[in-house]
Structure formats: C-alpha cells, structure tokens
Chains A and B, each alone.
Chain A
Amino acid sequence: MNLNKNNCIFILCLFLNYILLAQTVKSDSTEIKQLDEVVITATRTIRQLSSLPLPVQIISKKDIESSNSIRLSDILNEQTGLITVPDYGGGEGIQLQGLDSQYTLILIDGVPLIGRSAGTLDITRLTVGNIKQIEVVKGASSSLYGSEALGGVINIITENPKKGLNGDINYRLGAYNTHDLNTLISYKKKKIGISTFINRYSSNGYDLDDDVTLKTVEPYSNYTFNSKLTYDISKKTKILLSGRYYTQNQDYVASEELKGESNINEWNARFKISHNYNKKWSSNFDLYTTRYIAKEYLDSISTGSRYSDSNYDQVLIRPEFRVAYHVNNKNSFIGGIGLNHETLDRDDFTEKPIFNSPYIYAQYDANPTDKLNLIIGARFDSHNKYKSQFSPKTAIRYQLSNKLAIKSSIGYGYKAPDFRQLYFDFTNATVGYTVLGYNAVATAIPELEAQGEISSIIVPISEFDSELKPESSVSINLGIDYTFNSKLTSTINFFRNNISNLIDTRVIANKTNGQNVYSYYNVNNVYTEGLEFNLKWNPTKNLKILGGYQLLYAKDKDAKEAFNNGEVYARDNNNSSFQLQKDDYYGLYNRSRHMSNLKIFYNIPKYKTDANIRTTYRSKYGLTDSNGNTYLDNYDDFVNGYCILDFSINKTFYKNYKLGFGIDNLFNFTDPDNITNIPGKLIYGKLKIHF
C-alpha cells in the first residue's frame, strides 16, 4: 500500500515539475476569467454557484470529457467526499458525507431514478455521454425532494437540443474488451428542437482472482437511448417531451453447475409544459413516469432445468405542478404540489404493494441586503403506508468581504421504508432462515407457527402494530468560502448528520430448524461528521489544479455507548477474550477516515492538446467484523488504504477530430479479496468526431 501511495505522489510531483518548468519559460500571465457556473438542483431555480448558501459541487462536461469517463461511477469517484461502494448484487452505489447509497437521491434532469432492489442505486447504469453537467448537493434536501434526499442529491443534467444541426460520435476501446460507442445528434430551428442519443457499452468483465471458477464481473452489454423534443408554442409557453430507455444483459454465473442471465430494462417518459404569465409569475406542469424491471434466472447445466427465477418490476408515476413568483430582485417564492404513485411486483413479497404519496412544498429565497442570502423551505409528504413527513430547511450565506463568505444550512431529511422492509417474505432455501417485512410479520408468523416451524417467539407480534417509522436525519453544514485571488479559491465545509430510526434487522423468532426469523425495526441512531476541503488553483491560464480532502467520523451511538461501558470484547492470539477500551471503536463499516484527491489539468493550445493526471486516495476501512464481537474495532481486519492514479491525453486534429489516450489505474492496484469494483490497469484509446 505504501509503495502504491508513494508511486502516486512521485508521478504527481514529476508532472507538476515539468509543467511549472514549462510555465516559467513561457511567463504566461494572462488574467483568468472566472466563469460563474449556474446550479439548478440546490433551490430548483437557476442560481449562481458562487452565491449559494449550500454546499454544492459541479462537474462540468469539459472535466468529464478530458477525464475520458464513460460511466457516472468513473467521474463521481474522483470528487471530494464521494466514493462508490460495490454492492453484493454487483452494482455500485455512492457514499456521500459517509452516508450509504440509499440515502442519496439520484435525479436525471430533476426527476428521480428508481430500481433500488436492495437499497443501492447502481450508478454504473448511467452513461456520461450526453451529460451537460452533474450537480451534487450535500446535506439533507427533503424540503424540496422528499424521500431519499437524506444525505444529499445528485442531479444529472443532460444536453438540450442546440441551435442548428450538431452531432458527435465517440468511440472508446479499452482493456477487458471494453467498447463504448455513443452518438448524440441534435437539431434546433426556430420553435422546434430535437435530440437523440444512443450509447452502447460492453465489456468482457474481468477476473481479479484466477483461482476461482467465477469471474469477478461477468461479461455484459448495455444500451441507452435518450430522446428529447422541445417545442415553443409561443415565447411564453414551452413544451418538453423526453424519453429514456436502458437495457442491460449480463451473464449470471452462480457456480459451474448453475448458469443463467440477468437482465435490466428501464425506461422513463416525461411531458413538461411551462408557461410565463408575466415577469413575476411562471408555472409548469410535469408528468413523469418510469419503470424498472430486473429479471434473473439460473439454469442447472446437468439437468437442463430451471433452477431459480427472480423478478422485480417497479413503476413510478408522478404528476407535479410548480409555481414560481418573482416578487422583485430581492425576494422570490417557489411552490409545488404533486403525487408519487408507486407499485412493485416482486418475488417473495406478501402482496403487490401500492404507495400513494401526495406532497406539497414551498421555498422563500431572499436577499435582504447585497451581502445576505436567506433560504427557507419546507415540504409535507402524506403517505398511505407510513407516517407522514414534514421536512423544513433553512440556509443562510453572508458575504463578509470580497474574499470571505460564510454559509450555513440546517435541514431535515428522511427516507421512507422501502417495499422490501415492509413486505418481504423470504426463506433461504439452503440455510433455512426467514426474512419478513415489518408489515408481513402479523400474517407470516401465525402461518409459520401453524406449519410447526416456530420454536419460540422473541418479539411479540403486537410490537408490529404501530407503523415502521421512516429513517430521518437532521443535517447541519457550516462552510467558509475564501478567495485568495482570482487564481486561487478554497472552500471548507463542516458537516454533521444525525440520523435516527435507522432501520435494521433483528431476530424476532427462532425456528425449529435452529435458524431465525428476522424482521426490520427502527433501532440505530448514528451520526456522520467531518469536514470537506476543496482548493482550486489556476497558476496560469492553461493549468488547473484541483485538490480535495474529506475527514470523516461515522459512528453508531449505541455502539459507542457499549464501548464506553466496557461491554465489548475481542480475542487475542490465543483466542481468549479481553475487554476493549473506549478508543477501540472504529465506527461504521466501509467508511474511510481520510479521502483525498488531486487533479492536474494542463492545456497546450499550441498543439491543441490537453493532458491530465488524476489521483484519488482512500485510507483504510473495515468491511466485516472479523473478530466476532459484532462491532468494528481496532482489532478487526481492515482493508488497506490505496491510491489510484489515472492519466489521459487528448489531441484535436482538423478541428473536428479528437484522439484520446489514457491509462486508468496506472499502477495496476487491485485487492481481489476486498475490492471487486477496481479492475487492474486499464489502457484505452478514444476517438471523437464532431459534425
């Protein structure tokens, strides 16, 4: 690990040295024009990034392109405080401010993606080929977005049709027989705009461990189709129609004997009409519908018969009406009213659940003085299956001087219990344990009892009479923006998320086969806290250096208490128990205390070439309780910290052609035992044609 870390540092220094040397010769000192980027996710209105009272990150198309990223996971992994964590289902979810993937809402153009079969939303599903910008809002944002926006929101803004006829073809060929081909064609003339995007991505997968018969990632291929149609009925009334279809096919291999396929089909369709009544009033109506279907099967090779089948089919329909009232330059309001209608058809469920959740929200955005910005918002979600939620939020930013601004926000976030936590009724065929959703307990336990499968009840059924509470959090962010000069800016943000009613599983009954019946319940109170630091430095017009660091403590309050009370033990080399001390509690699984990144982008206009080196570091983290005391402590086995260094170079020919070359994971870092989502060194070439 140390070797790997040192390698990263060494190469970075070399690169920097070379560039700085080149710079001094050129003595290029043109002033850099700071572009002020705009954000839509943080307030649901268009706002300048620099004026926002909330912690927000923007990833531009330019950065995505020069990094030669192909999937959303590639680019998000390089951002401060974000890391993708592989799920045992095979996908990758995003961890944000130390919170699991299920607590971050993922949007495409402001509407949510669905398909969290086990809580994780697999972000490798998303291609970056047609992305205009990615916006990351940290801190609870349920006041605008409702459920799931507990840790934050990631909004993927895709390209809109541009004037005239435009087209791009991108092809990237890389190791592991990875092909990524995408084309975006857009046309806009007067009132009509239309764009079509097609992406095909395929890979042979990879195998980190040669000993086993199964591959780490089995071969797969997927397609994304995305189309947009914009029509301006008049200067004041505009229509948007858009559709997206994603399909993936992957080999599913459980053993040499059991083989099959897993298929994902996802689509969404959207109709939006917006109208400006006058300078002060505008409104829009948005009808969004999406469906996610995942199917898996395994066949027995020797008998040729079907061994298992699984099916997951989720639908979301969401009409929403929004109004914006722009009182004057200093005061504005937005409000919205809508309904989430959600259904799920899934194996091992007691019923086909239907969620209906009407909601209403409002937000006031004020600038009492030039230096002060204040945002107050709240949302109310009513629900037919769990407790209704009221989510307020307030944020404030004060510009102390030209160089210094402070900002602070406090908000409530929640995540509704998902279908699985309520309706699951699953018995493991080989081991024999049973998992029941909270609402399934009352009917399933008496049935098991009648079949003579229950030996004793641990938690009485009456405890399941009251509703399961949504997981909720209060998040606090306190940040300072400091501008040293036009070339060097920095932000620091302190965060704390207090999460209550975290849903966990517990044993509710013992079975006669010696196994348990598990169900979900509100138990844990956990917190994540830390700080995030970002630095942006443009020493010259053609050189950009970005650095970021996150410090994180993520802990369970009950676990902390148990350590404080001396109730936790570990084993020494002779397997004898000894008592653990207060400081021995490490925290939640899969959280690194330190994460950092350093990215250097260098542009050589003379040769129409840009090059960059990007490196990310993650300190050690625990994956399992290896010493059997149910807590992660300093005596457990940890996954070693690691550093990944990516390099890429792009050159433009004849104006419309661009050739790229790069190596991801230059030092070929792998950890087959613990990390399944990092393949070894990946060399690729890329061609882009613009017309």
Chain B
Amino acid sequence: MKTIRTIQLVLTFGLFLAFTSCDNNDDTDNSSSEAVESNTVTNLQATQSADYTTSPATITGDYIRFSFDSGSTTTGDDWDVAFRGTTILVNGGEATSDDEPERTGDAGIYIASGTLASITEVNTELFEVDSATDGLAITTGSDNGWYTYDSTTHIISPIAGKIIVVKTTTGTYAKFEITSYYEDGEANEDLSNSQYYSFNYVYQPNEGETSFE
C-alpha cells in the first residue's frame, strides 16, 4: 500500500508540476481544471464504546471527521463525512443526537450500486442529508446501508458493490468504497481490531463538476 501511495504522491506532484508549468505558459486561463484524484485511506480508527448496563445501551466515542478536499481527518468544521463504529455521518442537515458534531455544511450523501470505476457520473438528485426526524442519510443496521452483520460470527462486512457518493462542503464531489472495517483488512480472532476503516476514494476537485472521468 505504501508504495502505491508513494507512486500516487509522485504522480500527483508530477501532475501539479505539469499544470503549474502550463500556467506559466498560459496566464489567461487561471481556472484550468485539476485532475481527478484517486486515493486510499487505510486503518482510519473510529472507535466507539458501548455501556450495556443501561437500557438502551449508552454508546460513546468521538466521531472521526474526514475531509475529501484535504484527503485527511480534521477536527474543524470543514469535514464532509464522519465515522464512529459502523455509523457514518454527513456534514449536512442536522444532528440526530447530542453527541454528534454540529452540521455546519451543506454536504450530501447517497449510496450507489456499482464498482468504484463504474460510477462515473454524480446523480445530484439522490443526495440526502442527516435529519433529526428521518434519521441518518446512511442508515445503520445490517444490510440497511454499507455493511452486513453476521449474527453468528459477529463480523461486519462492507457490502460489495456499494459506492458512497458525497457532495463535499466545498461543493465538489467524491465517491468512496469501504473495503474493510478491520485493521489491516482482516478481522482477528476476537474481533478486537474492528472499527478501523479502509476505503478507496476518487475525488473530483473541480467545483460543480459531476463527472469522475
């Protein structure tokens, strides 16, 4: 994975150089489009704890916020999506409970069926936001959203062919596919390495551009 990242970095850097050098030659076109970025995030830890002595159980833990624009986690209001346990929030709409971060942006989210490569176009009509009355845009529970829960093995598996499409807080678009919920991609015997997200994403950095190609 590291080598891929390095190659990607080199490539991005290379592209950046190419574009900046272009800019030098052509001063008139400042809005020349940036290239679509493909990237991988591994082992993003989003731990939640549950206290079963209360009924219903009390779930605690910080939501880990992620920004596609920066390609990294953030603690500010510039987040697009946030993770805690199997729950995914979007920075749009309103909080559904007190311990969630306040929604300051107008991001949106939906789940498409396909492969990361086959979703080439954003369907802007499908975006949903979190809602205090209608619940989260990415519904929780087994087989409701992005994962299935096996009640025998207790393993959480991302459903194949579920691509999550995001409208970011900056008005750009991204798509991502969760590849694992366990550290280093595989559940260990006692499942203690759960709540580690790995996902591949594609980011379209040009505002308003709905195509990923």
Contact = CB atoms under 8 A, between A and B. Distances in A.
Interface of A: 88, 430-433, 453, 455-456, 507, 510-516, 567-571, 574-579, 624-625, 627-630
A576 B143 contact: no
Contact of B135 (A433, A456, A625, A629): A456
A577 B141 contact: no
Nearest to A570: B160
Contacts of B157: 627-628
A576 B144 contact: no
* Consensus secondary structure, chain A interface: loop
Contacts, number: 90
Contacts of B171: none
Contacts of B57: 432, 513
B73 interface: no
Interface in B152-180: 152-153, 157-163, 177, 179-180
B56 A432 contact: yes
Given A575-B180, A624-B152, 16 more contacts: A453-B56, A507-B143, A507-B144, A513-B56, A513-B59, A514-B59, A515-B141, A567-B113, A567-B161, A575-B179, A576-B200, A577-B163, A578-B115, A579-B161, A624-B153, A627-B157
A569 B144 contact: no
A511 B56 contact: yes
B148 interface: yes
A578 B148 CA distance: 18
A122 to B, nearest CB: 19
Contacts of B159: 628-630
B141 A516 contact: yes
B87 interface: yes
Nearest to A455: B135
Contact of A627 (B56, B160, B180): B160
B56 A577 contact: no
Nearest to A88: B152
B161 A630 contact: no
Contact of A576 (B59, B115, B141, B148): B115
Contacts of B195: none
Contacts of B161: 567-569, 577, 579, 629
A571 B56 contact: no
B100 to A, nearest CB: 13
B150 interface: yes
B118 A512 contact: no
CB-based closest 9 A-B pairs: A569-B161, A628-B157, A575-B179, A569-B160, A516-B141, A629-B160, A513-B56, A456-B135, A577-B115
B47 interface: no
A575 B198 contact: yes
Contacts of B134: 456
A514 B140 contact: yes
B116 A577 contact: yes
Contact of A431 (B85, B151, B179, B198): B151
* Consensus secondary structure, chain B interface: loop
B97 to A, nearest CB: 8
Contacts of A575: 179-180, 185, 198
30 contacts: A432-B52, A455-B135, A456-B134, A507-B141, A510-B139, A510-B140, A510-B141, A513-B59, A514-B87, A516-B141, A569-B114, A569-B160, A575-B180, A575-B185, A575-B198, A576-B115, A576-B116, A576-B177, A577-B114, A577-B115, A577-B160, A577-B161, A578-B115, A579-B115, A625-B148, A628-B157, A628-B159, A628-B160, A629-B161, A630-B159
Contacts of B141: 507, 510, 514-516
A374 B177 CA distance: 61
Contacts of A579: 114-115, 118, 161
B140 to A, nearest CB: 5
B204 interface: no
Given A569-B160, A575-B185, A628-B157, A510 B115 contact: no
Nearest to A633: B160
Given A507-B144, A514-B141, A516-B142, A571 B135 contact: no
B135 A510 contact: yes
Nearest to B161: A569
Nearest to B52: A430
Contacts of B96: 455
Interface in B165-213: 177, 179-180, 185, 198, 200
B67 interface: no
B179 A576 contact: yes
Residue with the greatest number of chain B CB neighbours at <10 A, chosen from A433, A575, A577, A624: A577
B45 interface: no
A307 to B, nearest CB: 15
B86 interface: yes
Nearest to A629: B160
Contacts of B177: 576-577
Contacts of A433: 151
A628 B145 CA distance: 13
A569 B148 CA distance: 14
Contacts of A629: 159-161
Contacts of B52: 430, 432
A514 B85 contact: yes
A630 B56 contact: no
Nearest to A509: B141
A559 to B, nearest CB: 14
A259 B94 CA distance: 47
B211 to A, nearest CB: 20
Contacts of B147: 628
A571 B179 contact: yes
A432 B50 CA distance: 11
B62 to A, nearest CB: 16
Contacts of A514: 59, 85-87, 140-141
A363 B26 CA distance: 93
A630 B157 CA distance: 10
Contacts of B179: 571, 574-576
Contacts of A574: 179
A575 B160 CA distance: 9
A568 B114 CA distance: 8
Contacts of B150: 624
Nearest to B159: A628
Interface in B77-134: 85-87, 96, 113-116, 118, 134
Contacts of A570: 160
B114 to A, nearest CB: 8
B64 to A, nearest CB: 17
A25 B193 CA distance: 69
Nearest to B142: A516
A567 to B, nearest CB: 6
A185 B69 CA distance: 85
Nearest to B58: A513
Given A514-B85, A570-B160, A630 B59 contact: no
B144 A510 contact: yes
Residue with the greatest number of chain A CB neighbours at <10 A, chosen from B56, B143, B148: B56
Nearest to A514: B140
A628 B185 contact: no
Contacts of B139: 456, 510
Contact of B143 (A568, A624, A630): A630
